[in-house]
């Protein structure tokens, strides 16, 4: 699954936000925060892992998840580039409309 498909789901975004706030969490602790089944959360975690958005470490019986900061920076950089492109286009449109008003 690609990163943006993974980010499209509100539950996965909520998991990422929670991990960003808390640092790292066991899969069971993550599941306990949601009103869905543990297997459903497991599938969300799998999607996030496959998209490279979270890292997982096995500690005994537990799987500990944390945000993959490098991957999130890549997403942020992409979004920033897109924002800049739209700002340039909107600035050009604004300039065009002002010039039309003056004529």
Cα pseudo-dihedral 93, 78, 16, 13, rounded to 10? 40
> Is the pLDDT confidence value at 57 over 80?
yes
CATH (domain of 56): 1.10.10.10
* Overall domain count for the chain: 1
Q: What does the alpha-carbon distance between residue 5 and residue 26 come to, in Å, rounded to a whole number?
A: 24
pTM value is 0.79
Q: At what angle do helices 10-22 and 38-50 cross, to 10 degrees?
A: 80
pLDDT at 35: 94
The domain containing residue 8 runs over which residues? 3-102
Contacting residues for 33 by C-beta, under 8 A, at least 6 apart: 18
- Residue 79 banded pLDDT, cuts 50, 70, 90: confident
Q: What does the alpha-carbon distance between residue 70 and residue 102 come to, in Å, rounded to a whole number?
A: 48
- Residue 47 banded pLDDT, cuts 50, 70, 90: very high
> Is the pLDDT confidence value at 100 over 90?
no
Strand partners, 47: none
Burial of 9 per CB tally in 10 Å (0-12, 13-18, 19+): middle
Mean pLDDT score of the chain, rounded to an integer? 94
Which of the 8 DSSP states describes residue 61? T
Calculate mean pLDDT across residues 10-34: 97
């Amino acid at each position: 699954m690609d990163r943006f498909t993974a980010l499209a789901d509100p539950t996965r975004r909520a998991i990422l936000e929670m991990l960003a706030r808390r640092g790292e969490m066991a899969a069971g602790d993550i599941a306990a925060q949601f009103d869905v089944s543990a297997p459903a959360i497991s599938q969300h975690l799998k999607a996030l892992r496959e998209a490279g958005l979270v890292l997982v470490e096995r500690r005994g019986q537990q799987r500990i998840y944390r945000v993959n900061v490098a991957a999130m920076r890549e997403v942020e950089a992409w979004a920033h580039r897109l924002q800049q492109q739209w700002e340039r286009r909107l600035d050009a449109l604004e300039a065009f409309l002002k010039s039309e008003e003056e004529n």
